[in-house]
Chain A
Amino acid sequence: MDISTETDWECCWERDRIAMGDCPNIGEGDEDLLLSRSRRFLEKCCECDNFKRDMIRFRDSGHPLAPVFSILHADYRRRRYQIQSLASFLDTKTLEIRFLHELGSVLQSSVDLDEVLSVALTAITAGKGFGMNRAFLLLVDKQQNVLKGHLAIGPRSAEEAGQTWQEIESGDLDLQGLSRLFQKDKLNAERDKFHDILEQLVVPLEDEQHLLVRALEERKPLLVTDAFRRPDVDIEFVRALGVDSFLVLPLVSRNRRVGVIIADNFITHRTISEQDMQSIETFSFPVAFAIERASLYERVQEEVGKLKQANQRLQEQQEQLVRMEKMALVGRITSSIAHSIRNPLMVIGGFARSILKTTPESDPKRCFLESIVTEARQMEEVLGEILTYSDALYPTCDFWDANQLVEAGLREVQERILSQDYTCRFHPAERLPLVYIDFKQTSYCIRNILLSTIDGLSNGTIDIRTRAEGDRVCIEVLDHSRTLSEDELEALLTPFTEAREMGSGLNMALSRSMLDKQNIPLVVVAPPEGGVTYTIKLPTYKEESS
């Protein structure tokens, strides 16, 4: 046994203190190891080549402790390696947990389906995520009972891959940032880009042998390798994907099959490991849950939208009902008053006529009688109008030709139009569908509209047009001669607002009331630059309410 002095050792392990440069493994930042022999030995010497050579010399020296020391040293190194591996594993898992936490936070907080899908697919393909090259999402279509390609993400060529990955690297974004960028700029483009493949990815859920359906049924991810040669894999499906190795991740949320994600390394051809599969598997449930929740939210939103529309319709109908009730009340009151007036008026007018018949032309009081007869007749006409207003309660509807309707209205007022030197041009549309209306009432309304346009004016022009508009036929009366202010327009459609002449104050309100009862809107537009357009939209179908 010949153990030499300290100068014989290549390593610095036997020295209490060393100077910087004595140990090749100690550099800047490790200065404290220069003065601590034990720490230096454990942290640096054990892995140092100089120390290994010293150990060989020690073993060769035949010292009885040499074999024991070798055993201890080897065991120490093995354990140290194990600890390092565990620490590395721990670091990896910590990163994974952080990533999953980040992913979970985003998925939990979002109810926007596009956002959820963007996050899920970005997480699979991003380098900071699971680092796969491409991901395809297939969703369950319950109506057609199939799994259907919905969205894909990833490059389609090496060139595109290089460009995209460079962009991502320079952007230095976290997962949320990446997914937002994807949703904002690329979601629709990616859908279009993979349209041809997505179209081919349709798998009937009844096909229980299909590996995607199998993965869904078994709720386990599948790592498919050598797919072109596997008898249990649909060759057309693999051809559509264009890779022979891929990962199938079923998305199942609370026993409900949501869809499947297929991930591959189409560009790098990196082998997909069991570790990759396990990592991605942990992420399948939150994704499935988030997709289901977002889909449900989307459906709820749709239903809310429908409800809002229904509510709005209900509100409109309620308002219309209130309006009609008010009109009906006005009608009942006016009818009652008119009836009470009519009998005495008839007696006054009747007896005045009787006396007039026997009164000679030369009688100075004859003109008084004539005045009574004329005024009584005029009042009877007004009363007739008021009673017609209160009569218009229940329209009798049938299918009619809208052009004939206009012509009927025009015939009734033709004489007045000509007498006031008005020009009335009718432009009937051809091949109009029949309209479901009360002909008499609607024709009366058109007559009233025409009379209203020529009332108090002469030498004007009216254009009347008919046209089909959706499931309605529009009749448009354009009065070029009149200009109405907002107040005048309001007054035109409100009964008894025109004090000058009671009859004309009622006509348009009566028309609107009659049309309202048939659910026919009457729109009157009077732009400040002049002209008044009356539009009525007649239904071409039977309405329950009419």
Chain B
Amino acid sequence: MSKLLVVDDEANIRLLYSEELRDEGYAVETAGTIAEAVAKLEQDNFDLAVLDIKLKNESGIELLQKIVKERHDMPVILCSAFSCYKDDFSAWMADSYVVKSGDLTELKEEIKRVLAKKAQRRAAGL
């Protein structure tokens, strides 16, 4: 079972993601702040992280940079209400970018795709 970390400052969104992704068969942990997310990342090994970009006064991009630097084998999917971040090159470090929607189909498909890619890389010994 793949373990996912969902980082979003909105409790209801964390709850929605948890419910939906657990239904898809993933083990889901959530965090509301960067500090909380960093703590969970240090404690556990996650297969993938779903990050919101706007985290109250913090930036999900900062956390993305930290993950890429320290845990470069863990893929990250950015999830934001702003489609403009798609063209922001600092967001290109992420493995995927999804615009937030009540319909989580796209997010779920991206999680599957990114995890499959990760598995392929592992199999190839990369």
> Are A and B associated in one complex?
yes
Given contacts A346-B100, A347-B102, A354-B20, contact A384 B13 (CB under 8 A): no
> What string of 1s and 0s marks CB contacts (under 8 Å) between A98-142 and chain B?
000000000000000000000000000000000000000000000
- Set of chain A residues within 8 Å of B23, measured between Cβ atoms: 354, 357
Measured between C-beta atoms, what is the minimum distance from A443 to chain B in Å?
16
- Set of chain A residues within 8 Å of B12, measured between Cβ atoms: 343-344, 347, 351
- Set of chain A residues within 8 Å of B16, measured between Cβ atoms: 346-347, 350-351, 354
A523 contacts partner chain B, Cβ-Cβ < 8 Å: no
> What string of 1s and 0s marks CB contacts (under 8 Å) between A336-347 and chain B?
001100111111
A390 to B84, alpha carbons, bound, how many Å?
A: 9
Contact of A350 among B20, B83, B99 (CB under 8 A): B20
Measured between C-beta atoms, what is the minimum distance from A436 to chain B in Å?
19
A223 contacts partner chain B, Cβ-Cβ < 8 Å: no
Contact of B102 among A335, A377, A391 (CB under 8 A): A377
Contact of A346 among B13, B54, B84 (CB under 8 A): B13
- Set of chain A residues within 8 Å of B102, measured between Cβ atoms: 345-350, 352-353, 373, 376-377, 380
B104 contacts partner chain A, Cβ-Cβ < 8 Å: yes
- Set of chain A residues within 8 Å of B103, measured between Cβ atoms: 349-350, 353, 377, 380
Are the CB atoms of B10 and A391 closer together than 8 Å?
Answer: no
B116 contacts partner chain A, Cβ-Cβ < 8 Å: no
A225 contacts partner chain B, Cβ-Cβ < 8 Å: no
A349 to B20, alpha carbons, bound, how many Å?
A: 12
A339 to B13, alpha carbons, bound, how many Å?
A: 14
**Closest A residue, CB atoms, query B8:** A343
Main secondary structure on A side of the interface with B = helix
Measured between C-beta atoms, what is the minimum distance from B25 to chain A in Å?
15
Main secondary structure on B side of the interface with A = mixed
Tier of interface size on chain A: 20 to 34
Measured between C-beta atoms, what is the minimum distance from A510 to chain B in Å?
14
Counting residue pairs across A and B whose Cβ atoms lie within 8 Å, the total is: 64
Are the CB atoms of B13 and A380 closer together than 8 Å?
Answer: no
Within 8 A of A (CB), among B103-121: 103-104
Measured between C-beta atoms, what is the minimum distance from B22 to chain A in Å?
11
**Closest B residue, CB atoms, query A372:** B102
Measured between C-beta atoms, what is the minimum distance from A352 to chain B in Å?
7
Are the CB atoms of B104 and A387 closer together than 8 Å?
Answer: no
Given contacts A349-B103, A377-B102, A384-B99, contact A343 B20 (CB under 8 A): no
Within 8 A of A (CB), among B10-44: 10, 12-13, 16, 19-20, 23
A342 to B84, alpha carbons, bound, how many Å?
A: 15
Measured between C-beta atoms, what is the minimum distance from B34 to chain A in Å?
18
Contact of B83 among A351, A373, A376, A388 (CB under 8 A): A388
Given contacts A347-B12, A354-B16, contact A342 B83 (CB under 8 A): no
Given contacts A384-B83, A391-B83, contact A342 B100 (CB under 8 A): yes
Within 8 A of B (CB), among A367-390: 373, 376-377, 380, 384, 387-388, 390
A350 to B108, alpha carbons, bound, how many Å?
A: 13
A380 to B104, alpha carbons, bound, how many Å?
A: 13
- Set of chain B residues within 8 Å of A335, measured between Cβ atoms: 82
A388 to B81, alpha carbons, bound, how many Å?
A: 11
Are the CB atoms of A347 and B10 closer together than 8 Å?
Answer: yes
**Closest A residue, CB atoms, query B9:** A343
A376 to B16, alpha carbons, bound, how many Å?
A: 15
13 contacts between A and B (CB under 8 A): A339-B54, A342-B81, A342-B100, A343-B81, A350-B20, A350-B102, A351-B12, A351-B16, A353-B104, A387-B82, A387-B83, A387-B84, A391-B82
Question: 10 closest Cβ contacts across the A-B interface?
Answer: A349-B102, A342-B81, A350-B16, A391-B84, A347-B12, A350-B102, A346-B102, A339-B81, A376-B102, A346-B100
Residues of chain A having any CB pair with chain B under 8 Å: 335, 338-339, 342-354, 357, 373, 376-377, 380, 384, 387-388, 390-391
Given contacts A384-B83, A387-B82, 9 further A-B contacts (CB under 8 A): A342-B100, A347-B10, A347-B12, A347-B102, A351-B12, A353-B104, A354-B20, A357-B23, A390-B84
